[in-house]
Amino acid sequence: MASVSLPESAGVVIIGGGVIGASIAFHLIEAGVRDVLVLERDEPASGSSGKPIGGVRAQFSDPLNIRLGQRSLEAWREFGARPGADIGLRSVGYLFLLTDDADVATFGRGVEVQNELGVPSRIITPREALALCPYLDPRTITAAAYSPADGYALPGAAVTGYLRAARRHGATVRTRCAVTAIETDGAAVRAVRTRDGTVRTPAVICAAGAWSGAIGAMAGVDLPVTPLRRQIALTGPLTPPPPRIPFTLDFGSTLPRGFREADGSVTSGSLRVRFNEVEARGIALTRRGRALYDELVGEPAEQWECRFPATERELAVDEHAFFTYEPVLDHPADGRRPPRELAGLLDSGRLTATPIVYEDFLPRSAAGIFQSNLTDTGIQDTSRPGAHYDAHWLSEAIGRPVHDSFDLYAAQQNHSLERARRALGIVEETP
C-alpha cells in the first residue's frame, strides 16, 4: 500500500491497521464519519491479523459471543458485496474433538444455547466425526461437537478489503507511521504524535491489538493487555491434496489440526503437541548476557543483585539483552545535539528501547520433533536409539536455512539503532 502524506488534522484517528482497525475505518466511513485516519506502524495485517489460519464460527458457550459470531458469519458471507472483496470464505464447518465425558457435557450445554439462538450445531458420535474428517482415529475420542455453518476465510484479504473500501470512500491510511505520543487536556484528546508529524484530533480509537497497553498508557489509560507470543508450525503441501474437511480442533490439546498454505488454502495435518507443559518467555539475552545468566544459575540472590543488570536500561547499555530502538523525533528542542552514545540517547529521552522477546516452547511431547525414541507419555526411551535430528537435518527437510537466533536478534537490533541514529541526524564520524 503506497504511503500517503500525513494530514494536519482528522476527525477520528484509528491506531492499528489490523482487521479491527480496518473494519472500524470502513464502518465509520459508511456511517457518514469524515476525516478518518488509520495509522499503522508497519504494514496492514502485519501483526496478529495476518497470522491466524482464519477460523470463523458461532460455536461459543456465552450467548453474547454466539450472537457476535452469528453477525460476523453473516458479514463474512456478504463480504463480496459489502465492502466488496473476495476473502476466500469456505463454510466447511467446525469440528471439536472431545476426549472425556466432562468436555462432552460442557459442549452439550453449549450446543443447547447455540440451538436456541439459531446455530445449527450438534453433538455427534466418533463414527460420525470420522465420516467428516477421515484423518482422526475414532477410538481416541468420546464424541465431537460440529456446526456446518462455521469455516475459515483469509484474514489478510479481509483487512485489505476493508481498507480499500474505506479509502475509496475518503479514509486516509498511513503505513509505517508509528505513534509516539497522545496529547491530552484533562479527559480530552487533542492530538496524536507520530514519527512523521503531529495530527490534531478530538477522537482516538485504539485497535493496536497486543500493543494496546502501550497506546493506552500514552493517553493515561490503563489497558490490561499483555502481549503473548505463540507459535505457528509450517508444513509442506500434502500429496495427494486432502479432501474437504471441517476445521478440526483437538479440544484436549487446543491445537487446530489445520494448516494454512502459501496460496491461502487450508490443509489438514496430524501434528499433536501437548500445550500447557513448558513455556518460558523473557527478554532475549545476548551471548554475553546468556553467559552471565548461566554462570549465576544456582547462585544465591545476593550474587544476582550484585552482578546481573536490574533494569532494561542496564541490560541495553551493558549489551546483555537485545532491544528494538525507536527515535523520539518530537523531543523538546534544547539547542544541543543528540548524544552519540546509547546511554546518553536513552537518558535524554531521544531514544526508546523495546525489549526483543523470546519464547522457548519445547514440552516433552514437542521434543519428538528432534527425537524419535519417545514413549507415548513424552519420556525418552533410553533402550532405543533416537534419530539424529539437528539443525542441519531440519534445514534440509524444510528447504531453507535455519538461522542462529543470536544473529537474528542482533541484526534486528542493529538495524533499528542505525535507522534511529539517521533519523536523529547522528552521522558516524570517519577517521
User: Is the bond into 339 cis (omega within 30 degrees of 0)?
Assistant: no
State the pLDDT at residue 188: 94
Q: Are residues 131 and 163 in the same domain?
A: no
Residues 142 and 186 reside in one and the same domain: no
What angle is formed at CA 42 by the lines to CA 223 and CA 28, rounded to 5 degrees?
A: 65
Q: How confident is the model at residue 75 (pLDDT cuts 50, 70, 90)?
A: very high
Most confident of 285-289, 335-339, 378-382: 285-289
Give a yes or no: residue 302 inside a domain.
yes
Q: What is the pLDDT of residues 273-283, one digit of tens each?
A: 333 322 334 67
Same domain, 237 and 135: yes
**Higher local confidence (pLDDT), 256 or 357:** 357
Residue 207 lies in a domain: yes
CA distance linking residue 216 with residue 303, whole number of Å: 37
Do 320 and 372 lie in one domain? The reply is yes
Structure confidence at residue 231 (pLDDT): 66
Contact 327/420 with Cβ under 8 angstroms?
Answer: yes
Can you tell me the mean pLDDT for 337-342?
85
Tell me: cis bond preceding 83? Omega within 30 of 0 counts.
yes
Say yes or no: 318 and 406 in one domain.
yes
**Count of CB atoms situated within 10 Å of the CB of 328:** 20
CB 416 within 8 A of CB 326: yes
Give the single-character DSSP code of 332.
P
CA nearest 42: which of 265, 326, 264, 424? Answer: 326
Asked which of 40-44, 329-333, 354-358 is least confident by mean pLDDT, the reply is: 329-333
What's the total number of domains in the chain? Answer: 3
**Residues 286 and 366 grouped into a single domain:** yes
Percent of the chain with pLDDT over 70: 78
Together in a domain, 341 and 282 = yes
Is 140 in the same domain as 177? no
pLDDT band at 68 (very low <50, low <70, confident <90, very high): very high
Residue 206 has pLDDT above 50, yes or no: yes
**Residue 376 within a domain:** yes
| Whether residues 262 and 283 fall in one domain | no
Q: Does any domain span residue 48?
A: yes
All three cell numbers of 28, joined, read 465509520
**Whole-angstrom Cα distance, residue 223 to residue 214?**
8
Of 98-102, 297-301, 353-357, minimum mean pLDDT range: 297-301
Same domain, 360 and 426: yes
| pLDDT above 90 for 137 | no
Q: Against a cut of 0.85, is the pTM above it? A: no
Q: At residue 386, does pLDDT exceed 70? A: no
- Residue 69: CB atoms within 10 A of its CB come to 22
Residues with Cβ within 8 Å of residue 266, at least 6 apart in sequence? 53, 54, 90, 152, 247, 258, 259, 260
Q: Averaged over 77-99, what is the pLDDT? A: 94
pLDDT at 256: 44
Q: What does the mean pLDDT of the chain come to?
A: 82
Q: Tell me the average pLDDT across 85-109.
A: 93
Radius of gyration in angstroms for the set of CA atoms belonging to the chain, rounded to a whole number: 25
Residue 120 within a domain: yes
Helix (H) or strand (E) holding 147: strand 143-147
Residue 75 Cα distances to 84, 148, 205, 367, angstroms: 11, 17, 22, 41
3 belongs to a structural domain: no
CATH number reported for the structural domain that contains residue 106 in this entry: 3.30.9.10
Nearest to 39 by CA among 177, 138, 169, 136: 177
Question: Would residue 75 count as lying in a domain?
Answer: no
| pLDDT, mean of residues 380-392 | 58
Kind of pairing between the strands at 36-39 and 172-174: parallel
The secondary structure of 246-299 as a DSSP string is -EEEETTTTEE-EEE-TTS-EEE------TTS--EEEEPBPHHHHHHHHHHTTS
> What integer pLDDT is reported at residue 388 of this predicted model?
55
Contact 58, 66 (CB under 8 A): yes
Given a cut of 60, whether residue 83 has pLDDT beyond it is yes
The reported pLDDT for the residue numbered 217 is 92
Identify the band that residue 390 occupies on the pLDDT scale cut at 50, 70 and 90.
low
Q: Average the pLDDT over 167-181 and give the result.
A: 95
What sign results for the dihedral spanned by CA atoms 399, 402, 407, 410? positive
- Whether residue 209 contacts residue 41, with contact meaning beta carbons closer than 8 Å, is answered with no
Q: Which of 33-42, 133-142, 400-409 is predicted with the least confidence, judged by mean pLDDT?
A: 400-409
Shared domain for 392 and 356, answered yes or no, is yes
Please tell me the least confidently modeled range out of 1-5, 217-221, 230-234, 238-242: 1-5
| Statement: residue 360 has pLDDT above 50 | no
Residues 18 and 133 in one domain: no
Distance CA 54, CA 50 (A): 9
Measured in whole angstroms, the distance separating CA 332 from the mean position of its chain's CA atoms is 34
State residue 430's pLDDT score: 46
Average pLDDT, integer, range 110-132: 95
Q: Is 4 among the domain residues?
A: no
Range of the domain at 175: 12-52+155-218
Predicted confidence at residue 269, as pLDDT, reads 46
